[in-house]
Structure formats: C-alpha cells, structure tokens
Amino acid sequence: MSYINIDQELCTGCRRCAEVCPVDAIEGEEGKPQKINTEICIMCGQCVQKCSVYAPYFDDGITPINMKLQERGMLESVKEPLFAAYNIGQAKKVREALANPQLFKVVQCAPAVRVAIAEEFGLNLGALTPGKMAAALRRLGFNKVYDTNFGADLTIMEEGNELIKRVTEGKDLPLFTSCCPAWVKFMEQAYPELLKNLSTCKSPQQMQGAIIKTYGAKINNMDPAKIFSVSVMPCTCKPFESDRPEMMASGYKDVDVVITTRELAYLIKDKGIDFANLPDEGFDLPLGDYTGAATIFGSTGGVMEAALRTAYEIITKNPIPKIDIEFVRGGEGVRTATVQIGDLELKIAVVAGLKNVLPILEDLKKGKSDYHFIEVMACPEGCISGGGQPKVLLEEYRGIAYKNRKDAIYKHDSELKLRKSHENPDIKKLYDEFLGEPLGKQSHHLLHTKYKSRKEK
C-alpha cells in the first residue's frame, strides 16, 4: 500500500509537488498527471501540503466526492475540498474502535499537534491548545489520554545516554537522531552503509506505544490484547513507521493506528464537538506527564536542545547554565555549533529539510566528518511543518503558520515547570519500577530497534 498518492483524475501536472519533494519521487511530464515512485518516496507529505489542485464540487465529469472520500479513507462527514495529492487516512478505523466497548482505547499526541489542531477550527495560526486537545480526545471516547511528549522525554533518556556512550567510546560517530521516520527510511534506501550512525532509539511514538502496552497495561490492570493504541501525529510517514514488523516489542502492534492532526480534526467535527469552547483539561498520568524538553521536539533543533539539556547535566553533574539553547533553533537549513560540556567539545549539527543533509552524508562517507551529534528532520521546519498538519489555503500564510506554531512550542516549553527530560518524575518512576536503567536490558528490548538496507543490490 502506498500512503501518499496523487489523484490521477485531478492532477494537472503543475509539478509544484515535485519542487518540494526532497527525494525526487514525483515523476511525470509537465501538464500531465504525476505519479509517485513509492520505492523512493519517504512519505513526508510535503506534496500533500503544497498541492493546490482541488476537486471541483460542481463538476459532473469527475468521480463523485463521496467516492473520493472513500478511496482516501476519509470520514464521509468531511466537507473540506479534496486536493490531488493526498495521504491515505485511518480516521474510520479509529471511529470504529472508539465505538467498540470491548476495547480499552488509549491515545498519544505528538508535540506539534497541540500547536496546530486549533487552526482547523478557525483559531489563529499556531494557537496553543493542549488542554482543549486533551478534552476533545476524552469526549471522543478515549479511556486514557496519554502523550507522545512522555515518549519524547523517554527518548532523551535513552538517546542522551547513547550519545554519551558513543562519545566516550569514540564509536560510530556522528550519532544521527532517529525520531523522523522519513529520514530513517531515506537512510535505509540511500545510505545503508551509514546505518550504524543512526541512533538505535525508536521514535517517541514507538517508545510510547511499547510502554502503553507493557507498563501502561500493568498500571491500568488491563490485558494488552484489549488495548487499542492510537497516535495523533503531524506526520504522514508515522503510519509507515508503526507498521514496521519490528514495532511489536510489547508482543502486540505497539501503535495500532496513526492519524494525522487533520484527521483528528475530522473526528472532532464528525462527533459535533465544539472544539473552540472546550475547557482545558490535563493529560492522564503517568504516561501523559512531560517536560518542556519533550514539547520542543516538534520544531527543528528541539531534539538537539532537549538532548543537550540532559547530556550536559549527566556529564557535568551540574545544572546547565542556560536552559534556552537558542543557537540550535531556527528554520530550514543546517545549523552547526561546538558546545562545551565539561571537558568535552561536542560538535553538533541540526538539519531541517532532507535535501540539506546530503553534503553532510557525502562528507561522512569520505571520512571527512568530525561531528558528534546530528539532528535531522525531513520536513522544512521539523514536525510543525509536517505533511499531516493543517494545510494552509494560501501560500502567503505558510511562513506565518510555521512561525506561530514554532513560537507556541517554545512558549509552551518556557511555561512548563520542568524543562529537562531527566527531571520528569514519572520518567524516573518508570525507570525505577519497570525499565531499570537507560540502555539496560528492558530498555534495549522495548525502546531500541534495528535498521535494514532498502537499497537495490
């Protein structure tokens, strides 16, 4: 199954999608319908964000809209216009599961969702609404409203320690982040020889999924077979990630279904929930507890900043002098720096927009790289600009949307009492009660993964 598609009936061949595709997976002549080369498509969904060719509602000459909704796995209540480039949706599966009283329904939400979901209900671009989002998820019928942010704090515990270990041993450097599934797929298909440099850490989504069906099942006294685990992501590649056969560390599919930010909005509208007027509610504990470090994962540089906050304190055993590490923040492109951590001079790079990583990978292949740690996000400004995020109607809104979403993420971080992953009390408890220690046996089994070459021989 291909997750990202182009409607052959609608596509006019303007090729604006091809301009934003970082892997040149969109093929076709100008003026003719385009096709996606699914072998190399990394499912980042930037084409979905860019496409402006819509299905005319009053045109009798095309397949009726209700049939198109069905083809795309969209709820029949969706009223918004349909565009030529689209991703296959999963909202119907979620709606079905929510109506099933036999299941224990659990949801997790990525950090970038709470700074964008409100846009679909007419609130300002980048409106920060974690409380309304949690309330909406509860009204949809989820038994537990957890948070990928908890998984992000957990990722920092594992990845931060992995970084320290690799730097200490001087092995397999630089370490690349592995939170972005589009980037991971790209490495597997284009640079398999560098896979040892990818962090073995699963993404926050998959860590959270594995914990929900193990530790979560235990604390809720629930048979994991009955847990239906949903994640809400800004990303169109996350369903691909959750479908990887190795993502069954709990003994079950760790994340049953992934929906995008836009699809969550469909479900909320389908149920007639007045999102804008919902009260603010909290996430369920302990797996919905998070720090500021987790929330900034949604923006480019966020994983790096979160990792540095924790790595600095683990290595030096002292509080980090300045918690806002502003030089890693930014937009599309590459940012590099040298960070002094005790005696260690850590060389880092932050890459947003997959094309920008190519020179770094080529240097590494030639043995010319002296970085220790590199964050890569496939989308132009990280997850806030993901393929599953609300789609702007006018190109002139795009910059404002990304800026406002990013500002909201950093505002959320600055307003949280705890801003370092290792200070999350429920993460500490998780290690005490269940995991043992970072990079330990249980962590290794549940939270780490392996990669495989997808390169044709």
Partner 1 sequence: MKTKLNSFVVANAAKCIGCKSCEVACFTVHNRNNHVAATVGTVTVPIIPRLYLIRSEHGTIPIQCRHCEDAPCANVCPVGAIKQEGNAIIINEKTCIGCKTCLLACPFGAIDLLPQYDDGKEVLQINLKEEEEGGLTQKARVIAYKCDLCEDIGEPACIKACPVNALTLVTPTEERKARNKEAALSLIKTING
Q: How far is the CB of 393 from partner 1 (least distance, A)?
A: 5
Closest separation between CB of residue 52 and partner 1, Å?
Answer: 4
Q: With contact defined as beta carbons under 8 Å apart, do 299 and 381 qualify? A: yes
Asked about 362 being catalytic, the answer comes back as no
Q: DSSP state, 180?
A: -
Residue 448 is classified by DSSP as B
125 contributes a contact to partner 1 by CB under 8 A: yes
| Binder of partner 1 out of 79, 317, 417, 450 (CB under 8 A) | 79
CA distances, 246 to each of 250, 259, 281, 447, 451 (Å): 10, 20, 34, 11, 10
Is 317 noted as a catalytic residue in this protein?
A: no
Q: Which of 54, 96, 333, 338 binds partner 1 (CB under 8 A)?
A: 54
Q: How many residues does the chain have?
A: 457
Task: Please state the closest distance from residue 29 (CB atom) to partner 1, in A.
Answer: 12
| Segment holding 96, helix H or strand E | helix 91-98
Nearest to 276 by CA among 408, 391, 140, 133: 133
Catalytic residue among 120, 162, 313, 381: 162
**Residue 199: active-site member:** yes
77/316 with CB nearer partner 1: 77
Using CB under 8 A as the criterion, what x/- string covers residues 243-262 for binding partner 1?
A: -------------------x
Q: Is 51 a catalytic residue?
A: no
Report d(CA 135, CA 271) in Å as an integer.
Answer: 13
The verdict on 80 binding partner 1 (CB under 8 A) reads yes
Binding mask 397-416 for partner 1 (x = CB under 8 A): x--xx---------------
Residue 313 as a binder of partner 1 (CB under 8 A): the answer is no
Write down the catalytic residue from 144, 383, 421, 443.
Answer: 383
* Structural element, H or E, at residue 227: strand 227-233
The one-letter amino acid at 174: P
CA–CA separation, 199 vs 431, rounded Å?
20
Structure token pair of residue 111: 């950090």
Phi, psi of 228 (to 5 degrees): -105, 110
Strand 35-36 with 26-27, pairing: antiparallel
Q: Is 396 in the site for partner 1 (CB under 8 A)?
A: yes
Q: Which of the following is catalytic: 30, 76, 80, 246?
A: 246
Measured from the CB of residue 405, what is the shortest distance to partner 1 in angstroms?
A: 11
The CA distance from 31 to 24, in Å, is 17
- Minimum distance from residue 23 beta carbon to partner 1 (Å): 21
343 or 396: whose CB is closer to partner 1?
A: 396
Contacts of 418 (CB under 8 A, 6+ apart): 291, 292, 424, 425
Catalytic one of 11, 41, 109, 179? 179
Neighbours of 274 (CB within 10 A): 11
Active site (annotated) includes residue 21: no
58 binds partner 1 (CB under 8 A): yes
Buried b (16+ CB within 10 A) or exposed e, 41-59: bbbbbbbbbbbebebeeee
Q: Specify the stretch interacting with partner 1 by CB under 8 A; choose among 118-126, 146-154, 175-183, 415-423.
A: 118-126
Spatial separation of the C-alpha atoms in residues 333 and 346, rounded to whole Å: 20
Residue among 59 and 169 whose Cβ is closer to partner 1: 59
* Radius of gyration in angstroms for the set of CA atoms belonging to the chain, rounded to a whole number: 21
- Residue ranges in 15-34 that form contacts with partner 1 under rule CB under 8 A: 15-16, 30-31
Quick check: 319 binds partner 1 (CB under 8 A)? no
Residue 27 annotated in active site: no
User: C-beta of 124: minimal distance to partner 1 in Å?
Assistant: 8
121 binds partner 1, rule: CB under 8 A: yes
Show the binding pattern over residues 269-288: x = contacts partner 1 (CB under 8 A), - = does not. Answer: --------------------
**Token representation of residue 261:** 């930010």
Is residue 198 within the footprint of partner 1 (CB under 8 A)? no
Binding site for partner 1 (CB under 8 A): 12-16, 30-31, 52-54, 56-58, 79-81, 83, 119-122, 125, 262, 265, 390-397, 400-401
Catalytic residues: 159, 162, 179, 199, 238, 241, 246, 383
